[in-house]
Amino acid sequence: MRCTPEAIAAALGDIESPNLRRRRELAPDGRVNFCSNDYLGLANDERVASAMADAARQFGAGAGASHLVSGHTAEHDALERELADFTGRERALVFSTGYMANLGVLSALADRRDLLVADELNHASLIDAARLVRSTSNLRYPHGDAAAARSLLDRYAPGVIEAGGGTFVITDGVFSMDGDLAPLPALATAIREYQGWLVVDDAHGIGVIGRTGRGSCELFGLSPREVPVLVGTFGKAFGTFGAFVAGDSNVIELLVQRARSYIYTTALPPAVAAATRMSLAIVQKETWRREHLNSLIMRFRAGAKARGLRLMESATPIQPMILGQAEEALAASAKLAAAGFRVTAIRPPTVPHGTARLRITLSASHSESEVDRLLSALEAAT
């Protein structure tokens, strides 16, 4: 881009024309929120907020430095141990965001000689992380297609291994804009043959999926050996902020030594770590949250079917309704807003062209009657 005001204005003009310009709206705004990632209703939990406030008084508002300088506190340490326990891994490492966790994992564990095989609908942070590796074999397979992943491995892994490289299959556990689950067992089987690693970003699964909320790996009964690198975030079901990577001790130690997005950034505020510890305890103790959420998911899907609303196939709290063009999604979102519901329209480039959608998300904080009223509003708006 030319460094002129005209070039900037022209770039903005390009975005404005096809209804694709993004706008931020202040939250909360009094409407019932059906598009947040606060799946268990913990973001506004009094105990979580108090844990944060108490820790802020003790440790201050910020960490003051990166983890390797002086930002690593007892709250981070305890959270890491509790996360290792929760995920059944030897060790966990807290990152300041999920975006940085993904950049850190791939840039520390993979290099140019390695084969990266990734789902085409992976979260943007995984896509950027794979780019950062600058592998000459950075490949994508059609969404959710484990057979296609396997044929990429069969075709390219032997040559890469021969040349001294490793292989990685990289996927979201639950896809953030579609709500469907990755075919983890088939991916784990495919990669096993090449002694590679399955990297799972379970940002939308941790806390929510699986009988005890341990995520997609629990749902499919996959062991830490089958999923050696597990990424989770705190900004979704935990209702706070930040992320972690769990794995065996040496994998985590290598991240501490090598992940630039871990080393060269300020540690998560200790108060956020304390709040997340409280969330993690609640996630494990209050199983009613997942039960209520699952009953809302079933209620929503049954109600949508009865009203002829076409939802995507999804068993998770992410229940998208594809409308096609950006303007259709915007119009529906505006009608829902007028009816008292917040459901943001999701448009390209977040999702592929022609698949603009309402990404409806359910939460344990919703009531049955709110879900019923949303269904009526959706019927009127689409």
Q: Which residues are catalytic?
A: 176, 204, 236
Q: Cβ closer to ligand PLP: 146 or 177?
A: 177
Contact region for ligand PLP (CB under 6 A) — 129-137, 201-209, 285-293, 294-302? Answer: 201-209
If one asks whether residue 361 binds ligand PLP (CB under 6 A), the answer comes out as no
**Among 36, 20, 28, which Cα is nearest to 360's?**
36
Q: How many CA atoms lie within 13 A of 80 on its CB side?
A: 24
* Dihedral (CA of 271, 273, 279, 285) sign: negative
Which of 233, 314, 333, 355 touches ligand PLP (CB under 6 A)? Answer: 233
Q: Checking DSSP bridges between strand 91-95 and strand 243-247, what pairing results, if any? A: antiparallel
If one asks whether residue 171 binds ligand PLP (CB under 6 A), the answer comes out as no
**Among 147, 209, 129, which Cα is nearest to 175's?**
209
* Residues 110-149 as x/- pattern, contact with ligand PLP by CB under 6 A: -------------x-x------------------------
Q: Cβ closer to ligand PLP: 179 or 303?
A: 179
Cβ at position 90, least distance to ligand PLP in Å: 23
If one asks whether residue 203 binds ligand PLP (CB under 6 A), the answer comes out as yes
If one asks whether residue 180 binds ligand PLP (CB under 6 A), the answer comes out as no
Q: Cβ closer to ligand PLP: 165 or 213?
A: 213
Give the residue nearest to ligand PLP (CB).
Answer: 98
Cβ at position 103, least distance to ligand PLP in Å: 10
Cβ at position 373, least distance to ligand PLP in Å: 27
Cβ at position 320, least distance to ligand PLP in Å: 14
Cβ atoms of residues 290 and 213 within 8 Å: yes
CA distance 89 to 32: 37
How many residues contact ligand PLP, by CB under 6 A? 14
Cβ at position 101, least distance to ligand PLP in Å: 7
Residue 13: strand, helix, or coil: helix
Q: Three-state SS string across 259-274, please?
A: CHHHHCCECCCHHHHH
Q: Cβ closer to ligand PLP: 73 or 122?
A: 122
Cβ at position 131, least distance to ligand PLP in Å: 15
If one asks whether residue 243 binds ligand PLP (CB under 6 A), the answer comes out as yes
Cβ atoms of residues 210 and 75 within 8 Å: no
Q: Cβ closer to ligand PLP: 102 or 365?
A: 102
**Among 137, 142, 101, which Cα is nearest to 119's?**
142
* Residues 71-110 as x/- pattern, contact with ligand PLP by CB under 6 A: --------------------------xxx--x--------
Q: Cβ closer to ligand PLP: 125 or 355?
A: 125
Within 248-340, strands assigned E span 318-324
Phi-psi region of 72 (alpha: psi -120 to 50; beta: other; left: phi over 0): beta
Cβ at position 128, least distance to ligand PLP in Å: 10
The residues, ordered by sequence, that sit 6+ positions from 336 with a Cβ below 8 Å of its Cβ are 342, 343, 358, 374, 377, 378, 381
Q: Cβ closer to ligand PLP: 157 or 361?
A: 361
Residue-wise over 166-195: b if at least 16 C-beta within 10 A, else e?
bbbbbbbbbbbbbbbbbbbebbbebbeebe
The residues, ordered by sequence, that sit 6+ positions from 250 with a Cβ below 8 Å of its Cβ are none
| Residue ranges binding ligand PLP (CB under 6 A) | 97-99, 102, 123, 125, 172, 176, 201, 203-204, 233, 235, 243
